[in-house]
Amino acid sequence: MTNLADRVLDCFPAGNLAIGALLRLLDIVESREVPTAAVEVTAEPRLLVNPDFAAAHAATPERLLMLVLHELHHVLLGHTTLFPCKTPTDNFVFDAVINALLSRLLPQPEFTSLLTGFYDARSFPECLLRPPSGWDGHRVRTYPKGLDSLPEKQRAEVRHVYGALYSDGGATYEDVLSILPKAVEKELGGLKLLGGHGEGGKEASTGDIAATSPALLEGVRTIVSEWEKPPSPFHGRSLADLFSTARIRPRPAISKRAALVGLLRRVAGASGRGMNPQVATRQITVLGAIPGHDRRILVQTALGARPLLHPAQIEIRRVVPTGEQVHLYLDVSGSMSEILPPLYGALADCQPLLHPRVHLFSTGVWDIAAADLARGIVKSNQGTDIACVADHMVANKVRRACIVTDGYVGSPRGKALETLRQAQLGVAFAGNDHFTRDLGCVADHSIYLPRGD
């Protein structure tokens, strides 16, 4: 049998330079410590593949490619950061969506046969982890027999989600999260999933990949970004719109507030209606006892009237607000979780400088009112992708923006790179382990915000 590492290398499309760069960082190791496959995210990351499983279920290059891509998506999406205490139900939902995504990406039977051969269409809930029999890659015409075991109302809901996942219209992650967990949570005993989900002491995407192995994360991102998109993908490349809404308790952070105010003022410039203080001179009318040359008073005096007060024009100097309000893009990915409370506290005090809508981003952008910063409103799917920020800036014609992030956002490319370079952009790099390479080349102004208050 050919060496398993060589088989993994051979299963990827020829000419993909990103694969070579990735595999220089990722050792491919045969291991029976994992039931199928797993990625260890450590200082020296490894892709572990069970040779017995590969021989039985992934003997062809196409099936092996599906298995490896499944694991790489777990790394890319950072599932241990998204749900630090994952349940079997969480793992099932992750796999259901990733399997549907990869099936849409590679719908040919030689690829999907990994899933159709491993999971039984007649058994619930494993039938949800594979495309339907006779699937044409675009629409579900027949549903797996395993769904027949569900009560009528629940069967209709699950059929709706399953059909959407494997159809051109795509599914919303709100539907996936509200329907699938309730249907499967009591039915998962003994079900084997692809990849490492804690079995045998190994875990897919163990730890914070952005901090532990940023080079590995960048390699996986590059592969996915170069891959051809499905004809009608989900909302986002994979779990991009899977987000949770939560609240944190903002903490006062005077030093961060001062640094952010300085950055925002530099980005705002000196035109528009922001809150950069500048001295301006203006004339005002006041009333006094000293006569002046007001025409109205002269006429009244000529008619015999004796006004007690006389208007006069005087000049005053005062500080007035100038400069555009700045669009704030706040990174709320998993790697930012520890530093968000003091950042929220500092940014809440900067409201006069900010656009009324604050833009939270991970792999999507969610707008909240600037006032919601004081309430600690957080929406996130825990991943990070700077392309969504650039797209939002284009759609909303944003000219001046400030990005607050730890820097692990992926290197901007193409139109995203052009958009960020053309804008007046400030970047606040937060955290002691911040990373400046991704955004350093596009920032007009930058500061460093250490961890703590």
220 and 264 inside one domain: no
pLDDT score at 234: 40
Q: What angle do CA 20, 26, 30 make, to 5 degrees?
A: 115
174 and 301 inside one domain: no
> How many independent structural domains does the chain possess?
3
73 and 121 inside one domain: yes
The C-alpha atoms of residue 53 and residue 30 are separated, in whole angstroms, by 11
Please give the residue range of the domain that contains residue 286. Answer: 278-322
158 and 128 inside one domain: yes
Asked if omega into 125 is within 30° of 0 (cis), the reply is: yes
H or E, element range at 270: none
80 and 133 inside one domain: yes
Task: Give the pair of three-digit tokens for residue 154.
Answer: 């629940």
The C-alpha atoms of residue 266 and residue 270 are separated, in whole angstroms, by 9
- 197, 204 in Cβ contact below 8 A? yes
257 and 282 inside one domain: no
177 and 153 inside one domain: yes
- 395, 375 in Cβ contact below 8 A? no
The C-alpha atoms of residue 263 and residue 177 are separated, in whole angstroms, by 39
CATH number at residue 364: 3.40.50.410
Which residues, 6 or more positions from 1, have their beta carbon under 8 angstroms from its beta carbon?
55
34 and 86 inside one domain: yes
pLDDT score at 130: 94
Amino acid (one-letter) located at 104: R
Instruction: Please tell me what DSSP assigns to residue 227.
Output: S
pLDDT score at 80: 41
Cα distances (angstroms) measured from residue 241 to each of 140, 149, 219, 253: 23, 30, 22, 31
179 and 253 inside one domain: no
445 and 361 inside one domain: yes
Q: Which residue reads 């949770």 in tokens?
A: 244
Kindly report the three-state secondary structure assignment for every residue of 145-186.
HHHHHCCHHHHHHHHHHHHHHCCCCCCCHHHHHHHHHHHHCC
Q: What angle do CA 202, 198, 69 make, to 5 degrees?
A: 75
The C-alpha atoms of residue 79 and residue 73 are separated, in whole angstroms, by 9
Q: How far separated are the first and last CA of the chain, in Å rounded?
A: 58
pLDDT score at 221: 56
At 28, is the secondary structure helix, strand, or coil? strand
293 and 407 inside one domain: no
pTM for the structure as a whole: 0.54
Each residue's pLDDT tens digit in the chain (453 positions)? 457 777 877 776 654 545 555 665 677 888 888 888 887 766 667 788 899 999 999 999 899 888 988 887 776 655 444 444 467 887 888 888 888 888 988 899 999 999 999 999 999 999 999 999 989 888 888 999 999 999 999 999 999 889 888 887 767 666 777 788 888 888 777 788 887 655 433 444 444 444 455 555 555 555 555 444 444 334 333 344 444 555 667 877 777 888 998 898 888 875 444 445 555 576 777 777 777 777 777 777 778 877 777 777 777 776 555 556 899 999 987 678 778 888 998 888 888 888 889 999 987 888 888 888 888 888 766 567 898 999 999 999 999 999 999 888 888 989 999 999 999 999 999 987 788 888 999 999 999 998 766
193 and 314 inside one domain: no
